[in-house]
A and B are shown apart, each in its own frame.
Chain A
Amino acid sequence: MRWVVMAVALLAAACGSQGQVSDDVFTPAHRTIAAAARDYFNVRPAAQQPIPFPHKTHLAKGAECTDCHETVEKGPIAGIPSVKTCMVCHSQIATTKPLIKEVTAYSDKGIDIPWQRVYGFSQEAHVRFNHAPHIRAKVECATCHGDLKQMTVAERAVDHTMGFCVNCHRQKNAPNDCLTCHY
Chain B
Amino acid sequence: MDRRDFIKLTAVTGTSAALASCGNPEHQLIRFVPDEDITPGIAEWKPSVCPICSAGCGVNVRVMDADVRTVRSGQAGVVRMNVAKKLEGLPTDPISRGGLCARGQAAIQITYHPDRLAQPMKRDGARGSGSFKPISWDEAIAELVSKLDALDDRKALAIVTRPHRGNRDALFAAFAQRVGAPAPIAYELFSDDVLRHANAASYGKAQLPTYDLAKARYVVSFGADFLGTWGSVVAQNAAFGDMRQARPGVRGKLVQVESRMTTTGASADEWVPVKPGTEGVLALALAGKHDIADAEKITGVPAKKIERIAKELADQKPAVAIVGGPALAHTNALFTATAVNELNKALGGELLGFASHNAQLSTLSAQPFAALADAKLLLVDEANPVYGAPKAWKVREALEKIPYIASFSRFVDDTTAYADLILPDHSFLESWTDAAPESGSLDAKPISAGPVMKPIHDTRATADVLIAVAGKLKTPVELPWKNGEELAKSSQPSTVDRRQANPAPPSAGRQPTEWTDPHFDGAASDYPMHFLPYASPAFGDGSTAHLPWLQELPDPLTSAMWSSWIEINPKTAEQMGIADGDLVDVTSSQGTLRVPAVVFPGIAPDIVAMPVGQGHEHYTRYASKRGANAASLLAPVTEPETGTLAWAATRVKIARAGDADGSLILFAGEKYEKPHDHETR
Query: A15-B21, A19-B24 known; A71 and B39 CB under 8 Å?
Result: yes
In whole angstroms, what is the CA distance A7 to B8 when docked? 12
Given the interface pairs A17-B24, A75-B39, A76-B41, the reply to whether A111 lies near B17 with Cβ below 8 Å is no
Residue of B7, B14, B27 most packed against chain A (CB within 10 A): B14
B240-296 with Cβ < 8 A to chain A: none
B15 to A, closest residue via Cβ: A8
Residues of A contacting B14 in the complex (Cβ-Cβ under 8 angstroms): 8, 33
| Chain B: CB-nearest residue to A21 | B21
- A interface footprint on B1-41 (CB within 8 Å = 1, 0 otherwise): 00000011001001101111111111110111110001111
Residues of chain A within 8 A of B34, CB atoms compared: 82, 84, 112
Docked CA distance A181–B38 (Å) = 24
A76–B19 alpha-carbon span in the complex (Å): 36
Q: Is the CB of A32 within 8 A of B18?
A: yes
Give the distance in Å from the alpha carbon of A114 to the alpha carbon of B77 in the complex.
12
Residues of B within 8 A of A (CB): 7-8, 11, 14-15, 17-28, 30-34, 38-42, 72, 77
**Contacting residue for A11 out of B19, B30, B42, CB 8 A:** B19
Chain B min CB distance to A73 (Å): 10
Chain A 88-132 interface 0/1 with B at a Cβ cutoff of 8 Å (1 = within): 000000000000000000010011101000000000000000100
What are 6 A-B contacts with C-beta separation under 8 Å? Answer: A18-B21, A20-B21, A32-B18, A75-B39, A76-B40, A110-B33
Partner of B40, one of A11, A32, A75, A107: A75
Residue of A nearest to B19 (CB): A11
Per-position contact with B for A32-44: 1 when CB-CB < 8 Å, else 0?
1111010000000
B15: A residues at CB distance < 8 A = 7-8, 11
CA distance A74 to B77 in the complex (A): 28
Chain A residues near B (Cβ < 8 Å): 1, 4-5, 7-8, 11-12, 15, 17-21, 32-35, 37, 71, 74-77, 79, 82-84, 107, 110-112, 114, 130
Q: Which of B19, B26, B33, B41 contacts A82 (CB 8 A)?
A: B33
Complex Cα gap A4–B10 (Å): 9
A117 to B40, CA, bound (A): 14
Return A25 CB to nearest CB of chain B, in Å.
Answer: 9
Q: With the chains together, A7 CA to B12 CA distance in Å?
A: 10
* Extra pairs beyond A34-B17, A82-B33 (5, CB < 8 Å): A8-B14, A37-B18, A71-B41, A76-B40, A107-B33
A79 to B42, CA, bound (A): 12
Chain A residues lying within 8 Å of B22, measured Cβ to Cβ, are 15, 17, 19, 34
**In the complex, which residues of chain B have a beta carbon less than 8 angstroms from the beta carbon of A7?**
11, 15
> Does A18 lie within 8 Å of B33, measured CB to CB?
no
Q: How far is the CA of A27 from the CA of B30 in the complex (A)?
A: 27
Inter-chain CA distance A79–B18, complex, in Å, is 33
Tell me the complex Cα distance, A76–B40, Å. Answer: 7
Report B-chain residues with C-beta under 8 Å of the C-beta of A110: 32-33, 72
* Set of chain A residues within 8 Å of B30, measured between Cβ atoms: 111, 114
Bound CA span A18–B25, Å:
7
Shortest distance from the beta carbon of B625 to any chain A beta carbon, whole Å? 22
**Chain B nearest CB: distance from A183 CB in Å?**
14
- With both beta carbons as reference points, the residue of chain A lying nearest to B29 in the complex is identified as A114
Neighbour of A75 across the interface among B26, B33, B41, CB < 8 A: B41
- Measured CA separation A82–B32 after assembly (Å): 9
Residue among A4, A37, A76 with max Cβ neighbours from chain B (10 Å): A4
Given the complex, which residues of B lie within 8 Å of A79, measured CB to CB? 39-40
Question: Given A82-B33, A111-B32, do A75 and B19 touch, yes or no (CB 8 Å)?
Answer: no
Residues of chain B within 8 A of A18, CB atoms compared: 21, 26
With most chain B CB atoms within 10 A of its CB, the pick from A21, A34, A35 is A34
Shortest CB distance A19–B (Å): 3
CB contact between B23 and one of A1, A17, A83, A107 (< 8 Å): that residue? A17
Identify the closest chain B residue to A83 (Cβ). B33
Closest residue to B31 on the A side, CB-wise?
A112
Bound Cα distance from A110 to B72, whole angstroms: 9
Separation of A37 and B18 alpha carbons in the complex (Å): 10
For the complex, what is the distance from the CA of A111 to the CA of B41, rounded to whole Å?
A: 22
The reply to whether A74 and B42 contact each other, CB–CB distance below 8 Å, is: yes
Chain A neighbourhood of B32, CB < 8 A: 110-112
Shortest Cβ distance from A87 into chain B, in angstroms? 9
Complex Cα–Cα for A20 and B33 (A):
25
Check if A11 sits within 8 Å of B26, measured CB to CB. no
Q: Nearest Cβ in chain B — how far from A67, in angstroms? A: 15
